[in-house]
Amino acid sequence: MKKLIILSVILLGFFACENKINFDAEEDPVKVNWNERVASISKVDSLFTSGHSYLSVYSQIYSYSQHKTYNLTAMVSLRNVSMKDTIYLTNADYYDTHGTLLKSYIKNTVYLAPLETVEIVIDEADISGGTGSNFLFDWKIPKDAPEPLFEGVMTSTAGQQGLSFVTHAKRIY
C-alpha cells in the first residue's frame, strides 16, 4: 500500500508539472486592432514634432556557439509617457537581421492616449527576424510633450529555466 501511495504521488507530480501552452490566436489578449486606433492629423501641422526611433529586438540569441540558437518571444511595448497629450504613431516596421522588411504593423496613423501602452508580440516560434531583428517607429507628438517610449522585452522559459532581458529604443534622425 505504501508503494502504491508513493507511485501515485510521483505520477501526480509528473502530470502537475506538464507545461501546456495554448497558441489559439482567437484567445490572444494582447493583439492590437490597429484599425480601431486610426487617427487623422494633418501632415503639415506645425503643432507637432516628428521623430524616428530604432529598437533592437531578438527572435533568437546564440547559445554555446554561433551554430546553436535559442528562440525567444519578443514583446514590443509602445508607450505614451505623457499624462495629458495624445501622441500619434505613423509607422511601425519590423525588419530581420539582414534589413529586409518583414511586416508593417501600422498602415495608417494611429493614436495612443495619455499613459496608454500597446504591445506587439513576436511569438517564440516566429524566428524570421533572426538574431538581429529590429523595429523602426515614426511618431508625432504635440510640441513640448515627452517623446514616446519603445521597449523590447525578450523572454523564454523551458522547464525550470527562464531567460529575459530588455532593450530600449534610440531616437534616430
The C-alpha atoms of residue 83 and residue 16 are separated, in whole angstroms, by 44
The answer to whether residue 166 scores a pLDDT higher than 70 is: yes
Q: What is the mean pLDDT of residues 65-79?
A: 90
Domain count along the chain = 1
Is 91 or 3 the better-scoring residue by pLDDT?
91
The answer to whether residue 4 sits within a structural domain is no
| Segment 142-160, tens digit of pLDDT | 999 999 999 999 999 877 8
CATH number of 128's domain: 2.60.120
User: Max Cα separation, the chain?
Assistant: 82
Domain annotation covers residue 32 = no
Specify if 7 maps to a domain.
Answer: no
- Global pTM reads 0.75
Confirm whether 1 is domain-assigned. no
d(CA 158, CA 32): 27
Give per-residue pLDDT as tens, 127-138: 999 999 999 999
Q: What is the DSSP letter of 38?
A: B
For residue 138, give its domain range.
Answer: 38-172
CA gap 55, 32 in Å, rounded = 19
Residue 24 within any structural domain of the chain = no
pLDDT (0 to 100) of residue 43: 58
Q: Would you say residue 71 lies in a domain?
A: yes
Q: Around Cβ 65, how many Cβ atoms within 10 Å?
A: 7
Residue 77 in any domain: the answer is: yes
